[in-house]
A and B are shown apart, each in its own frame.
Chain A
């Protein structure tokens, strides 16, 4: 069952003034999809993320999971929220336990799981993010590399076995190899059925992973659709201070000059099509 945001609005109050962080958002996150949420800093992306698992209360509107309002008082509220795992920006700043094991076990322990089940989950979460259990479980999280620390933080959320994973700038500040590794983890989790909401400034990553993109501007949902449909609207995105991936820039330039590039503009697809055009001597384009 999907997550449905219904006319969701959020106001921040500071002293006498209020700021509208989100305004009348209607969005459905389908089961198993990989949705990217993009927008300029301050557009409301992180606020929206925090509504997805009830960390913030809507000023108006509702958040439905399996058709149930996650903010409604009732017995299931806590259980509902455990189904949506939220990985914050720089989540490694929130590691605090003495060992990797204890840090990852913290969430499942909080859920009141039996020791045996907790152990099983810690092991499987570590496996999912590629942390070797025997080697890593007893180490202090603070002596790990930045990329490893981030994977520990991600494992801590995965150990709660959420059906929906919300990641806020998961690769910010990572080096290219750590970034590639983490993107691989995210792709694999999604392939295995976890719904993923990816918040990112890195358009090349969005193009690589997301099947659908939602664009926020000043708290409003202004664009939404398949990734290819969004990134082919360069002027609109640029006007919002957003860039498009290099692959789309190239495809556009070449198409305007007479080539016929199509599909999702993944690097492999582009290479196939451009190689074909060059070898064909531009016969059908001339």
Chain B
């Protein structure tokens, strides 16, 4: 991996049609190698548009997007870019094409011309990394939503990407499926050093990222660690977003005159704060 920023966005604007309003409006962003960044924003804020520009699915109306130094407008680099920054979409049923999990993962490799003798090792590795190896011979349509998304991720991993871009990949899953997919992607980030752009509506998912971006009206409205971002409760409300339940409770406690820290994200944080504020309230 190189020292240059992994995903770099400069003065990026995008409109869907010549007369349409700007869906992205002058966005600049640098994502270093190996970072896990969550992107929040209400519907229509521009977060999905940004995702599609990051791997060259859309091309900038103005400005520039580079992936590992490759400009997405460079025609000759399109496949290299999509292989380098793989994308997972919301609906698990629209992404799988084959009748067997194994073949589905092979499909992407065939597309990028991987020699057939290399394929079995890469497919096995990708299925192992997503915990789906034991399902290799199953029919994708019989899997759960979370399993389908893990197969979609395996299909990308087999191409040896450096970044994963997930556009609300858990929105249609049940809680167990959501956890499966998030755990898998966190592990890939931690153990394989894969850069992750995680677009979500779920504040609790974003709370686990290294960095949180909040989009609004096609611009980056907030950018910081989860604690920095979620402590700004009023600002988030104004951007039509929720805060995690425990952050909300911390705000209610402040309104009641309790001098509690505003960087409470989890139940653990809240228990610690109560203990700090009133050691004699708790017996352990």
Q: Are B274 and A175 in contact (CB under 8 A)?
A: no
User: In chain A between 90 and 119, which residues have their CB closer than 8 angstroms to a CB of chain B?
Assistant: none
User: In chain A between 222 and 263, which residues have their CB closer than 8 angstroms to a CB of chain B?
Assistant: 241-243, 245-247, 249-250, 253-254, 256-259
Q: Are A176 and B252 in contact (CB under 8 A)?
A: no
Q: Are A41 and B256 in contact (CB under 8 A)?
A: no
B234 to chain A, nearest CB (A): 15
A271 with B256, Cβ < 8 A, contacts A177-B240, A253-B267, A278-B277 known: yes
Q: Are A275 and B257 in contact (CB under 8 A)?
A: yes
- What residues of chain A lie closer than 8 Å to B240, measured between beta carbons? 175-177
A227 to chain B, nearest CB (A): 16
Q: Residues of B within 8 Å of A, CB-based: how many?
A: 43
* Other-chain residue from A40, A278, A282, A283 in contact with B176 (beta carbon distance below 8 A): A40
Q: Are A147 and B43 in contact (CB under 8 A)?
A: yes
- What residues of chain A lie closer than 8 Å to B249, measured between beta carbons? 247, 250, 267, 270-271, 274
Q: Are B252 and A173 in contact (CB under 8 A)?
A: no
* Other-chain residue from B177, B279, B281 in contact with A259 (beta carbon distance below 8 A): B281
Q: Are B256 and A286 in contact (CB under 8 A)?
A: no
Q: Does A10 contact B (CB under 8 A)?
A: no
**CB nearest to A249 among chain B residues:** B267
**CB nearest to A146 among chain B residues:** B43
A14 to chain B, nearest CB (A): 12
- Which of A's residues lie within 8 Å of B, judged by CB? 40-41, 145-147, 172-178, 180, 201, 204, 241-243, 245-247, 249-250, 253-254, 256-259, 267-268, 270-272, 274-275, 277-279, 281-283, 285-286
**CB nearest to B252 among chain A residues:** A271
Chain A interface, DSSP helix/strand/loop, else mixed: helix
**CB nearest to B283 among chain A residues:** A258
Q: Does B20 contact A (CB under 8 A)?
A: no
* Other-chain residue from B255, B257, B271, B281 in contact with A250 (beta carbon distance below 8 A): B271
Q: Are B172 and A173 in contact (CB under 8 A)?
A: yes
Closest 6 CB pairs of A and B: A282-B281, A271-B252, A177-B240, A282-B280, A275-B256, A257-B282
Q: Does B15 contact A (CB under 8 A)?
A: no
A278 with B281, Cβ < 8 A, contacts A176-B241, A245-B245 known: yes
With the chains together, A190 CA to B169 CA distance in Å?
Answer: 33
A213 to chain B, nearest CB (A): 16
User: In chain B between 232 and 267, which residues have their CB closer than 8 angstroms to a CB of chain A?
Assistant: 240-242, 244-246, 248-249, 252-253, 255-258, 267
- What residues of chain B lie closer than 8 Å to A250, measured between beta carbons? 246, 249, 267, 270-271
- What residues of chain B lie closer than 8 Å to A282, measured between beta carbons? 278-282
Q: Are B252 and A243 in contact (CB under 8 A)?
A: no
- What residues of chain A lie closer than 8 Å to B246, measured between beta carbons? 246, 250
Known A257-B284, A258-B281; further 8 A-B contacts with Cβ < 8 A? A41-B174, A41-B176, A172-B172, A257-B281, A268-B252, A274-B258, A281-B280, A286-B281
* Other-chain residue from B145, B278, B284 in contact with A278 (beta carbon distance below 8 A): B278
**CB nearest to A269 among chain B residues:** B252
* Other-chain residue from A146, A173, A257 in contact with B271 (beta carbon distance below 8 A): A257
Q: Does B144 contact A (CB under 8 A)?
A: yes
A178 with B271, Cβ < 8 A, contacts A40-B176, A271-B253 known: no
With the chains together, A77 CA to B275 CA distance in Å?
Answer: 60
Q: Are A201 and B267 in contact (CB under 8 A)?
A: no
- What residues of chain A lie closer than 8 Å to B172, measured between beta carbons? 172-173
24 A-B Cβ contacts within 8 A? A41-B145, A145-B44, A146-B43, A173-B90, A175-B42, A175-B240, A176-B203, A176-B242, A177-B42, A177-B241, A242-B175, A246-B267, A247-B249, A254-B282, A257-B275, A257-B281, A267-B248, A270-B252, A275-B256, A277-B281, A278-B253, A285-B282, A286-B280, A286-B281
Q: Are A253 and B271 in contact (CB under 8 A)?
A: yes
- What residues of chain B lie closer than 8 Å to A286, measured between beta carbons? 280-281, 283
- What residues of chain B lie closer than 8 Å to A268, measured between beta carbons? 252
